[in-house]
Structure 1
Amino acid sequence: MPRRDRPATPHADAVRMTSVRKVYGKGAGAVTALDDVTITIPRGTFTAVMGPSGSGKSTFLHCAAGLDTPTSGTVLLGGTDLSGMNEVRLTELRRSRVGFVFQAFNLVPSLDVLRNIELPLRLSGTRTDRAWLEEIIDRVGLTGRTSHRPAQLSGGQQQRVALARALVTRPEVIFGDEPTGALDTVTGRDVLTLLREAVDALGQTVVIVTHDPVAAGYADRVLFLADGRIAGTLDAPSADLVAERMAGLGGRV
């Protein structure tokens, strides 16, 4: 029997947000972070989210991933409406159906690489698929490193561990918040290539927030935000086109 919060068959849309509004605070001090955002992210695609500082990028990601609850509007993950879910159900959903890769690698320093990768499975009580685990470790280039602790790895290797951890549950969506922000240019491009390969070879859906036009150039589509609203999209982006569009929105994030 399928899980109650998991659709019986894969939904064509990985994420659907409809009239999403997010307001922090009340009264005169209220801040509207998202204002009537409606967007669909198809399954098996790579989307980059960009915009000036304060445009609502992080709030967009948090609402789409079930890390935060919209003030109004609806968010569907693979056809499952997140509205009204309590924190227990949202936690279960995030563990089983969502992967996360952040700028801070968020690895557990006392655990070796293998146990860091397996952590979401252990937390959810899910048995490890050894063949899939080995494939993921190989794909992200960590073969021979699984007994190392995070402190024994470079920043790029630590982010590879984080990516493997995000992939191991076979999530419906991987969300990344500046996943290359703490990496040098060459290492960052290696991680972006791995994310691109996860989409192309594994059919994964990837959504990242980034300030880097080069990173956005790896995506299928760039979603631009400004003042909490969608300010446009760009399909088949290049770094130059992204930078030009960002300049028109007010520059850097």
Structure 2
Amino acid sequence: MIETTTAPAIRLSSVSKVHGSGDGAVTALDRVTVDLPRGTFTAVMGPSGSGKSTFLHCAAGLEKPTSGSVLLGGTELSTMDENALTAVRRERIGFVFQSYNLVPALTVEQNIALPLLLGAAEADPEWLRHVVERVGLADRLHHRPHQLSGGQQQRVAIARALVTRPDAVLADEPTGALDSRTGRQVLDLLRGVVDGFGQTVLMVTHDPVAASCADQVLFLTDGRLAGSLHRPSPEAIAERMTQLGEW
């Protein structure tokens, strides 16, 4: 286990996000403050419409908060222009989506190396080999996405997210399109990159079993932080979610 440092990988300070204006305004996030320590795995859960996706998007610099501050390491994202944000997302954040987002015409190796080809970082053959071995794809490098199972495609996406050695990996329902066995393998892989690489992972999920793989689970309701649990069981998460549904 790689020891974490005290400085958070991501810090949200009093972050609010309002969509629209006047009578039609909708508050997606309401003064959310949270630190995501380096080298930890954080899951975010909440009822539909609670602000989970907006939380992830603000943390990733995909959306600018209406007010408040978002720090990636020591870099303030909320005041950057779009060009600077694009560079930060390409170079310092790894993304994993439910839909994999692989390029069909490229091989596994080319998909993994795509951020490097786009200039996100200098190519490091040794690191690339290490990542490929970690995700178990060494014998699939010349295959194309359509020749892989869903779980293997998600492994490609995780390797692509890791190849630039980002500050954090952000995962949006990464097991949502997978069966329970394959989903568990992907979760074990994410857990492994935290414990083995010291990577920071932030994952939005609706699944208590998936969330139970995390070091901490944050709960959102009506755009507000509604508590957290440390290394909880799926049963404890499900019980908390039931309580949130009653609020």
Bin of the TM-score, shorter chain as denominator length: over 0.9
**Is the aligned partner of 1:88 residue 2:92?**
no
**Is the aligned partner of 1:240 residue 2:240?**
no
Choose which of 16, 41, 57 in structure 2 pairs with 1:62.
Answer: 57
Amino acid in the other structure paired with 2:179: D
Q: Compute the displacement of 1:116 (Å).
A: 0.4
> Could you tell me the percent identity over the aligned residues?
66
Task: Give the Cα separation in 2 of the matches to 1:236 and 1:108.
Answer: 35
Choose which of 178, 181, 184 in structure 2 pairs with 1:186.
Answer: 181
Q: Is the 8 A contact 2:91 2:120 kept in 1?
A: no
Q: Compute the displacement of 1:49 (Å).
A: 0.0
In structure 1, the partner of 2:206 is: 211
Task: Give the Cα separation in 1 of the matches to 2:63 and 2:78.
Answer: 11
Amino acid in the other structure paired with 1:153: L
**Is the aligned partner of 1:167 residue 2:183?**
no
Q: What is the TM-score when the length of structure 2 is the normalising length?
A: 0.96
Task: Give the Cα separation in 1 of the matches to 2:87 and 2:35.
Answer: 23
Amino acid in the other structure paired with 1:144: D
In structure 2, the partner of 1:49 is: 44
Task: Give the Cα separation in 2 of the matches to 1:126 and 1:67.
Answer: 20
* Total equivalences in the alignment: 242
In structure 1, the partner of 2:96 is: 101
Q: Compute the displacement of 1:11 (Å).
A: 7.0
Task: Give the Cα separation in 2 of the matches to 1:204 and 1:214.
Answer: 21
Deviations 1:230-253 (A, max 9, x none): 0000011111110111111118xx
Choose which of 219, 222, 225 in structure 2 pairs with 1:224.
Answer: 219
In structure 1, the partner of 2:119 is: 124
Evaluate the alpha carbon distance shift between residue 35 and residue 125 of structure 1 in structure 2; reply closer, same or farther with a 3 A threshold: closer
Q: 3-state DSSP class of the match of 2:118?
A: helix
In structure 1, the partner of 2:107 is: 112
In structure 2, the partner of 1:16 is: 11
**Is the aligned partner of 1:141 residue 2:136?**
yes
Deviations 1:3-23 (A, max 9, x none): xxxxxxx87110111110000
Q: Compute the displacement of 1:127 (Å).
A: 2.7
Evaluate the alpha carbon distance shift between residue 85 and residue 11 of structure 1 in structure 2; reply closer, same or farther with a 3 A threshold: farther
Q: What is the TM-score when the length of structure 1 is the normalising length?
A: 0.94
Q: 3-state DSSP class of the match of 1:99?
A: strand
In structure 1, the partner of 2:150 is: 155
Q: Is the 8 A contact 2:90 2:120 kept in 1?
A: no
Q: Compute the displacement of 1:79 (Å).
A: 1.4
RMSD of aligned residue pairs (Cα, Å)? 1.1
Q: 3-state DSSP class of the match of 2:32?
A: strand
Q: Is the 8 A contact 1:50 1:209 kept in 2?
A: yes
Task: Give the Cα separation in 1 of the matches to 2:120 and 2:76.
Answer: 24
In structure 2, the partner of 1:4 is: none
In structure 1, the partner of 2:73 is: 78
